[in-house]
Structure formats: structure tokens, C-alpha cells
Amino acid sequence: MISVKLIGGAKKSFLKDQFEINTSDITILELFNLLLKLKPNNSPELDTKNILIAINGVDSSAMNGQSTIIKNNDLVSIIPVIHGGSSKKLNFVIQKKQIQIIEIKGQKTIDVKFIDELRKKFPKIQLQAISSNFILNGSHLKKILSLSLESEKNNLLLSNKLETDILMRFALTTQISNAITVVGIKPKSNFILIAIGNKKILQSFYDEMVLKSVILFQKNNDSFLKKYFKITKKQLDVVHSKTPLEDILVEKAVILF
């Protein structure tokens, strides 16, 4: 038997938040086919291109994607990722939390104190800054945030704060000081600001930051990330997906214990 938990907008597609399926040892793709048969005809369609699938709290993209085998007594969580916004900001929802992403142009006068000052000015927003070099793309970013938020929900954070957990998962280290050194703010280097809060406050935050911001994800970081984390062609070749580098980075972030 498999337990399926529906989160956010996924509940509207099935008119319930959880149900049991009397089967096991099937792939995620096979589960999707079963779910389509269970979905009421008059309910909203499930946007399968913008969902995350977690098995027992672990993102399936860090395993074998849609080929991942779901075993007896596994809990499968279906988590919609709702996105929108302009090219200079990215807004989406994970686990009912509003998240806003902005990329800030590196300046000589901006250093690690910058985010401390922002936190004082916007105390109702959870803020973290990650060097742009360590984010592959928007999908990579969303998956890491999903891992951290899922860990927070299950009391499995790598540290006592969500913001620090996010930092450590992008740096792929369990050492906080090392994470700060590796992926933290550095003068003259672009960085991504991750802001979590309500829509009104996030808009105020964007209005404050817009003059310092640039178009998101312009730089191709593939080569840098492969070299920095010593990811070889052999490792990439054995990952059977369209996004092997992204999947390896997420997998490494999952197993940080």
C-alpha cells in the first residue's frame, strides 16, 4: 500500500488531501497514470510540469526521477511549485510559503554586512544570500529550497535556522563557517537574494532592491560547478535524465548529514 499526500493546489485536483493506493513496487510514472484515473472529471487539471514529487521526504529528482520505484508503506508527497513574475524577479510558492528571488549586482561596497542590515530593516522576511556562481538555474534553486522547507517541516534541518540550512545545501557542506565562506556574499560578485514572507512585504522588499538588481540567471555556471564540486563526466554519464548535473547537485544536498 502507498500513501499519497497532496499539498497546496494538488488538493484541488483530487478534492482531498490524502489517500491510500492498494499497490506497491511501481514507478512514479505508473503512479501518475493511476492518479489520472482517480481524479474527478470536474476538478482542475494537475500541472505535472510544475510539481515536485517527494518519497518519504526526499525529492524524487535526487533518485531516479519518474523511474523511481515506490515501495510498500512509502509516503509520496505531491507538491505544486507555482511561479510567475518578471525576468528581474522570480516569485513562486512552496508549501504555502511565498518566495521571491532577486539577483543583486556585485559592488565593491556590498559585503556580508549587507544582508544583516536587510534583516534588521525587514524583520518579517526570512532572508538568505547565495553567490550566483553556485546556482545552476531556477529549477536547481527551487529544488534546494524544497529540500530545506521539507526538512524544516520534519524537524530535520542541518542547523537551527532555515536560512542556514539553505546556505549549507547550496555549499554542499555540513560546516556552517565553510558554507558562509564558500557561497556567501563577496564584494564585486553577483548574488541571489532569497526572501520568504507575505506578498505585500515581498513587494516592498523588491521595490527597495530593484535598482540594485539584474536579470536573473544570465550566467552559465555548468563548468564552474562541475570543477568546484569535482563532478566528472563519468558521474554525469551514469545519470539517466535530461538534467544530470542538476540531479547530482540536488542528490548531494539531500544526503548532507
pLDDT tens for residues 133-187?
Answer: 999 999 999 999 999 999 999 999 999 999 999 999 999 999 999 999 999 999 8
d(CA 128, CA 166): 8
CATH code for the domain defined by 82-254: 3.30.2380.10
The reported pTM is: 0.69
d(CA 40, CA 197): 33
Residues 6+ apart with CB under 8 A from 8: 79, 80, 82, 93, 95, 96
Q: What's residue 19's pLDDT?
A: 82
pLDDT tens for residues 175-231?
Answer: 999 999 999 999 889 999 999 999 999 999 998 898 888 889 888 999 999 999 999
Q: Which fold has domain 2-80?
A: Ubiquitin-like (UB roll) (3.10.20)
The domain ranges of the chain are: 2-80, 82-254
CB environment 197-227: b (16+ within 10 A), e (fewer): beeebbeebbeebeeebeebbeeebeeebbe
